[in-house]
């Protein structure tokens, strides 16, 4: 009996170890590869014998990768700010006021999140060109609303609905306008939901590829995913793998930090959308 239990324990921990290795190994390999320079890259070894940061230097010097990172930061931050602003006001209406057509409206907003990006590509391209925002970060910020607004509105509406009615009534009796009620009474209570949805919107905008590739033209306007996907080196036939790995590590680090700090919030946001909704 005891032997069987020990065997079970060993098997269990082997399984845990296997899961961890499976999850982590690609990152480990990317880091190891990014530290190899020259021909060392083409030998398989567990740790570089002569670690070098040459790839990290060249990824920033051979292309405007610093600029690409800045673009991604600008776009993702603006997307978070804009979608939260639009979603907070809208969710106040959708969550606290009863009006005819509210449920169909909510369903319609949810339906937008099912749209394949490619189904709006040509129409959106036309809109962006018409607004004069082609090859402009503002065009991307606008385009990204299609996937950040549905879930921010949806999650914040669910959250708004659960806030106690008495708070609002007290403020209204004191003569507060709807705007004051929203910003002074509800907003402070909404913080946890705002952080969660904001994070998810940030990650979604940071990672987006198809729109970013289609609506920008020059190297200087590209965001990080496009820069990494289209990275090319001196040879036409072989990717500069060392640079690609270095760039991948550079953009993964901030996400790892975000995830480690906010993992509870992210998990609750992901599951609120699916389990409750």
Partner 1 sequence: MTTLDPGLEQGAALAEERPSTLTRSRKRSAILFLVPMLAVLALVAGWPLGRTIYFSFTDATLANLEDPAFVGLSNFYWLAVDPVWWQAVWNTVVFTLASVSIETVLGMVIALTLSAHLPGRGLLRAAMLIPWAIPTVVSAQMWGWMFHDLYGVVNEILLWAGLITEPKAWTADPALALPAIIAVDVWKTTPFMTLLILAALALVPDDVYEAARIDGVNPFKVFFRVTLPLIWPALMVAVIFRSLDSLRVFDLMYVLTGNSRSTMSMSVYARQYLMEFQDVGFGSAASTFLFLIIALLTVGYITLGRVKLGLGER
Nearest residue (CB) to partner 1, 54 versus 105 = 105
CB of 170 to partner 1, least distance (A): 13
CB of 275 to partner 1, least distance (A): 5
CB of 228 to partner 1, least distance (A): 5
Nearest residue (CB) to partner 1, 103 versus 234 = 103
CB of 2 to partner 1, least distance (A): 18
Nearest residue (CB) to partner 1, 53 versus 264 = 264
Nearest residue (CB) to partner 1, 162 versus 238 = 238
CB of 27 to partner 1, least distance (A): 7
Count CB-CB contacts under 10 A for residue 181: 20
Cβ atoms 41, 241 nearer than 8 A: yes
Nearest residue (CB) to partner 1, 82 versus 189 = 82
CB of 3 to partner 1, least distance (A): 18
Nearest residue (CB) to partner 1, 35 versus 153 = 153
Cβ atoms 42, 239 nearer than 8 A: no
């Amino acid at each position: 009996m005891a032997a069987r239990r020990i065997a079970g324990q060993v098997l269990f921990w082997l399984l845990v170890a296997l899961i961890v290795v499976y999850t982590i190994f690609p990152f480990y390999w990317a880091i190891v590869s990014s530290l190899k320079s020259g021909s060392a890259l083409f030998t398989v070894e567990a740790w570089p014998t002569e670690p070098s940061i040459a790839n990290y230097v060249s990824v920033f010097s051979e292309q405007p990768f610093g600029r690409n990172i800045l673009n991604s930061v600008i776009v993702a931050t603006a997307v978070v700010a804009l979608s939260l602003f639009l979603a907070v006001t809208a969710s106040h209406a959708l969550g606290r006021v009863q009006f005819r057509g509210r449920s169909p409206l909510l369903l319609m907003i949810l339906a937008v999140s099912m749209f394949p990006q490619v189904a709006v590509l040509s129409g959106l391209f036309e809109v962006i060109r018409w607004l004069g925002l082609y090859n402009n970060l503002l065009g991307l910020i606008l385009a990204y609303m299609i996937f950040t607004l549905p879930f921010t509105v949806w999650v914040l509406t669910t959250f708004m609905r659960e806030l106690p009615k008495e708070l609002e009534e007290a403020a209204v009796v004191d003569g507060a306008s709807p705007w004051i009620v929203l910003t002074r009474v509800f907003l402070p209570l909404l913080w946890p939901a705002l952080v969660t949805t904001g994070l998810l919107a940030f990650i979604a905008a940071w990672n987006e590829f198809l729109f970013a590739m289609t609506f920008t033209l020059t190297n200087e306007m590209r965001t990080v995913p496009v820069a990494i996907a289209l990275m090319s080196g001196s040879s036409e036939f072989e990717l500069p793998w060392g640079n690609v790995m270095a760039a991948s590590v550079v953009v993964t680090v901030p996400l790892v930090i975000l995830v480690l700090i906010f993992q509870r919030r992210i998990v609750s946001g992901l599951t609120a959308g699916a389990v409750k909704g």
